[in-house]
Amino acid sequence: MSAPAPTGPSLAEGRLCILLAAVLWSLGGALTKLLREPTPLGLHLPPIDPLLIAAYRVLFAGLVLVPLLRPRDVSFSPWMLFTVVAFALMNATYIGAISYGSAANAVLLQYTAPLWLYVIATACLGEKADVRGGVSLGLGLAGVAVLVAGGWRDEQLAVVLLALASGVFFALILVGLRLLRDRSSVWVTVLNLLGGAAALVPFVWHLPTPSWPQLATLVFFGGVQLGLPYLLMARGLRVVGTQEACTLTLLEPVLNPVWAYLASPGTEAPTVYTLLGGGCVLAALLYRYWPTRPRESS
């Protein structure tokens, strides 16, 4: 009698897992606004520093994933320190950009990471340039220029540059992950999350402790909004191709501003610059990642 075939998600279930991951990731802006802006929930009191939010969210996300580690997953490489530092900087700049400015601008500029990765890969890693990458880079840079111009006009240039920095640091993380692709992805992810939290300790240890309602929100922020999607993505990628998965996750930068606006409409009303610049960035990413059919051999 033959052994039963291993079970796994169907293609539809895999796509659903990736879409659910994107939806959960998209809650980041709204949760930050609930902790920073006046709302009926009163979670903005006592005032909580953005760096404290950044530290707690990655701490709880890492703790959620720790039970998945196996002893054979643990290994060390100098590039792991590189990705941990890049992750800590990305996390701090991203949360700072959302806290002090528009969540829409923050998530859109962070999503420029694949464009910077393309530049790094072709300029430094010897990868071959391609037409799709060049066109998407041009569209993305046009969107970045519009968003920076909007920040200049609205006296939010420093915040926009903070968001842009988070995209650059995200690209550096992707470079590190490429160089660590032969290591356990769970171990690298946990190391980035907990290492990112540890890196922020010197900057947050003296800050006031969050209230219990704030702490409960941060547990949800880290465990459910940031940690759980990694598990969903891992399951979805078992049956969904990388190109299609990247396209599906573009739901995050679309939904993130919507949830943030619902949480804090007074600070999250989109401007013309956000709509135009964000449209260019999303068009660039959609063009870059839209799956193409393989050519039939003649």
Tokens 């990655």 found at: 58
Residue 3 gets which letter from DSSP? Answer: P
Give residue 1's pLDDT: 44
Q: How far apart are CA 179 and CA 158, in angstroms?
A: 32
Give residue 245's pLDDT: 86
For the entire predicted model, the pTM comes to 0.90
Give residue 169's pLDDT: 96
What letters, b where the CB count within 10 A reaches 16 and e where it falls short, cover 232-270?
Answer: bbebbbebbeeebbbbbbbbbbebbbbbbbebbeebbee
Q: What is the phi-psi region of residue 155: left when phi exceeds 0, alpha when psi lies from -120 to 50, beta otherwise?
A: left
Q: How far apart are CA 58 and CA 189, in angstroms?
A: 10
What letters, b where the CB count within 10 A reaches 16 and e where it falls short, cover 186-208?
Answer: bbbbbbbbbbbbebbeeebeeee
Q: How far apart are CA 208 and CA 287, in angstroms?
A: 45
Going 37 to 39 to 43 to 44, the CA torsion angle's sign is positive
pLDDT tens, per residue, the chain with 298 residues: 444 545 668 889 999 999 999 999 999 999 999 999 999 999 999 999 999 999 999 999 999 999 999 999 999 999 999 999 999 999 999 999 999 999 999 999 999 998 998 888 888 877 788 888 899 999 999 999 999 998 888 778 999 999 999 999 999 999 998 889 889 989 999 999 999 999 999 999 999 999 999 999 999 999 999 999 988 988 888 898 877 888 889 999 999 999 999 999 988 888 899 999 999 999 999 988 887 665 544 4
Q: How far apart are CA 255 and CA 96, in angstroms?
A: 19
**Contact partners, residue 199, CB within 8 Å, separation at least 6:** 84, 85, 88
Domain boundaries defined on the chain: 11-40+48-289
